[in-house]
Amino acid sequence: MTTHAAVTEALADQRVQKDKKHWRAFNAGEIPPDWPLISWIIAENMLTSDGEEHTRLRKLVSKAFTPRRIEHMREGVVAIVEGLLDRVEAEAAASADGVVDLKALLAQPLPMTVISDLFGLDEEARPKLHRLVGVFFDQSVTPEDAMTTFMEMWGLLTELVGAKRAEPGDDLTSALIAARDEDDRLSEDELIWSLVLIISAGYETTMNLIANAVRALVGHRDQLDMVLRGEVEWSRAVEEVLRWDGPGEFVPMRYTTEDVELAGVAVPAGEPLLMGYGSAGRDEERYGPTAHLFDVTREDTSHLTFSHGRHYCLGASLARMEVLEALPRLFGRFPGLDVAVADEELVPLPSIIGSGVEALPVRLR
């Protein structure tokens, strides 16, 4: 599904569901267990559940993932951003040509630190988590590596849950362990799967959003200047980035539960659907003939980047908060920051899921 209307229609249609039991080819044994995207299919969490089960899991997880908890994190996020910008400045000063990788120094460590602090992950485990999450979004890895990565991730999070069960702390893992609705609570597997989902999505997407936002703004200097002069709010600029170059391209997978017509196309029951969030954001039928252009003054900056309907992203407010604390401080310190190479020289991520670049070399000027 690639148009805004088609994606919206599919997301809202009750005959399109998330549970793999509806995928005819999977149930027929036609999808090999070492398929690189298998972890996106076999997961047992909110992302892959429907109906009452989805409502149950989302209700339990949302008890820990509250707006109050997110807002309580803001002061800590600001401190992390300021510390990372100090490092960016120091690395640039020490560099022979003044070029530093902003993705490695800011876009990657900010959400990694935030998500690790949020879940109570110790310092030693964080580099490993970064590597494992990256593989989840990388379709160039071998099936064997994909399966090995999944097992490593499961083991890492099982250890985390064990540690927090023994010594609870003021973190989201402890809150998820304690979350209950009357006599209902997350099972051990549901708990681990929820951590896999929230940590992976909360880290990788925010990392790419920060890098994509920097690329968009410095590539449209006149619009960046409007934001810096206060003529356009930062929040509006970020929403336009989310529409024009959001961190998610496609998200697998949804399935038709019966024969259905979507966007005028007859789709048989049991078929998998890929939601094209990236293409939906540039759909001319929705945004007009300038849909392909980045424009922070655009009247309609609505988008589907955080999905729509019952599976709307629980972490959307956290992602927005991180980016809106990072970007004004980055460009407040370095208003002349620019990407050090031509855009076509940047290496895109080897992924149909994540949208971004491998590295973002910049000069602070």
Of the pLDDT bands very low, low, confident and very high (cuts 50, 70, 90), residue 15 is very high
> Once rounded to an integer, what is the mean pLDDT over residues 266-275?
95
Dist CA 325 CA 21 (whole Å): 41
Of the pLDDT bands very low, low, confident and very high (cuts 50, 70, 90), residue 139 is low
Dist CA 73 CA 57 (whole Å): 24
Q: What is the pLDDT of residue 362?
A: 98
Q: What is the pLDDT of residue 138?
A: 67
Longest dimension (CA), the chain: 62
Q: What is the DSSP letter of 357?
A: B
> Once rounded to an integer, what is the mean pLDDT over residues 274-295?
95
Dist CA 143 CA 348 (whole Å): 21
Of the pLDDT bands very low, low, confident and very high (cuts 50, 70, 90), residue 34 is confident
Query: For the chain, what percent of residues have pLDDT higher than 90?
Result: 57
Q: What is the pLDDT of residue 25?
A: 96
Q: What is the pLDDT of residue 71?
A: 87
In three-state secondary structure terms, 314 is coil
Q: What is the pLDDT of residue 192?
A: 87
Dist CA 63 CA 65 (whole Å): 6
Quote the Cα angle for 254-259-263, to 5°: 70
In three-state secondary structure terms, 154 is helix
Q: Which of the given ranges, 40-49, 126-135, 183-192, 267-276, has the highest pLDDT on average?
A: 267-276
Distances (CA, A) of 26 to 19, 29, 30: 11, 5, 6
Task: Give the tokens for residue 21.
Answer: 């039991």
> Once rounded to an integer, what is the mean pLDDT over residues 45-56?
86
Q: What is the pLDDT of residue 181?
A: 57
Domain ranges of the chain: 4-363
Q: For residue 351, give every residue at least 6 positions away whose Cβ sits within 8 Å of its Cβ, in sequence order, or none.
A: 137, 138, 139, 249
Q: What is the pLDDT of residue 182?
A: 61
Q: Which fold has domain 4-363?
A: Cytochrome p450 (1.10.630)
C-alpha dihedral sign at 198, 348, 105, 224: negative
Encode pLDDT of 224-244 as tens digits: 999 999 999 999 999 999 999
Of the pLDDT bands very low, low, confident and very high (cuts 50, 70, 90), residue 140 is low
Q: Which of the given ranges, 14-23, 36-45, 124-133, 162-171, has the highest pLDDT on average?
A: 14-23
Among 7-21, 143-157, 239-253, 310-324, name the one with the lowest average pLDDT: 143-157
Residue 145, pLDDT above cutoff 90: no
